[in-house]
Amino acid sequence: EANVIRRRLGDSLGLARSLMGLAVVRARAGEHERSAALMEESLRLCRDLGDEATLAHALARRGDAARAQGHDDRARADYAEALLISQRVGARRVTVMCTEGLAALEGARERSE
């Protein structure tokens, strides 16, 4: 419902954020194709708007979804991009999310250093 309202109002940033949230919910429900489509729309909006903080958050969330599906290379790339952006814009929460995600990937490969 939020997405419908935000589209009607022309609230692109709000739409990008709610699409990201819905993508996370869909991924957790195992609806990976629908999740990916929602996340791609969110990322496109973030890039079009130039909102780097939300872009970093969306990339980190996409990394989480990729890691959960065993797509480690995709997850690593998303976390790395999000980490660079989050550090540049001072999005500390996203920096922590990315660091945790990258550490989990490396820990799974028994590369804890």
* CB 52, CB 30: distance < 8 Å: no
How far apart, in whole angstroms, are the C-alpha atoms of residue 47 and residue 82?
13
> What does each of the 113 residues of the chain score in pLDDT, given as a tens digit?
999 999 999 999 999 999 999 999 999 999 999 999 999 999 999 999 999 999 999 999 999 999 999 999 999 999 999 999 999 999 999 999 999 999 999 887 776 66
Half-sphere exposure of 60 (CA within 13 A, CB side): 25
CA 110 vs. chain centroid, Å, equals 25
How far apart, in whole angstroms, are the C-alpha atoms of residue 58 and residue 40?
9
Reference 101, options 59, 58, 67, 51; nearest CA is: 67
